[in-house]
Amino acid sequence: MKGIVFTEFLEMVEQRFSPDVADAIVDASGVPSGGSYTAVGTYDHGELIALVAALSRATGLAIPVLVREFGRHLFRRFVELYPRFFSGVGSAFDFLMGIEMHIHTEVKKLYPDAELPSFECSAPAPDRLDMVYRSSRPFADLAEGLILGCAEHFGERIAIAREALPGESGVRFSLERTIAAPCPT
């Protein structure tokens, strides 16, 4: 897993809780890297799981809640760090439908060794989007947080229904836009 995920997670912990909490969860988790991450490095995803579990123990917040909140934080950071990915995109659904074709293609150019999840999208109606998320890692909550962060970025409100895909390491997210993005003027 790319280091930016780790550096941003610890940044979120420092901002939302405190630098002391960030240090404490690194110590409590016993991660092999010792919490020394670089944005361009590659680390075992098990370290992120250990850090989140330690944060849950330290704060009393449920792991899924923390991971979804991290997804929202991470999306906001992606907007700041990679504005070109958002240029000319008019809605959350437009952005989400372009992840495989545009975003993941660019990420693979920058990081050929990156192991990315896949998203299959279909739009059964103008205000509905179905996304099938598949990954070898257990991060559906992170994907859901990223989806929520995307909707927030575009000023949209969406309802999310989530269904585990039996026999697969995947989840179907059924999204319904309840308030559309404002029309550009």
| pLDDT tens, residue by residue, 100-131 | 777 767 776 766 777 788 899 999 898 999 99
60 dihedral zone (left: phi>0; alpha: psi -120 to 50; beta): left
Q: List pLDDT tens digits, range 47-92.
A: 999 999 999 999 999 999 999 999 999 999 999 998 988 888 999 9
Q: What is the pLDDT of residue 185?
A: 46
Q: What is the pLDDT of residue 137?
A: 86
**Distance set, CA 174 to CA 11, 104, 185 (Å):** 30, 21, 30
**What pTM value is reported for the model?**
0.90
Task: Identify the H or E element spanning 141.
Answer: helix 140-153
Q: What is the pLDDT of residue 166?
A: 83
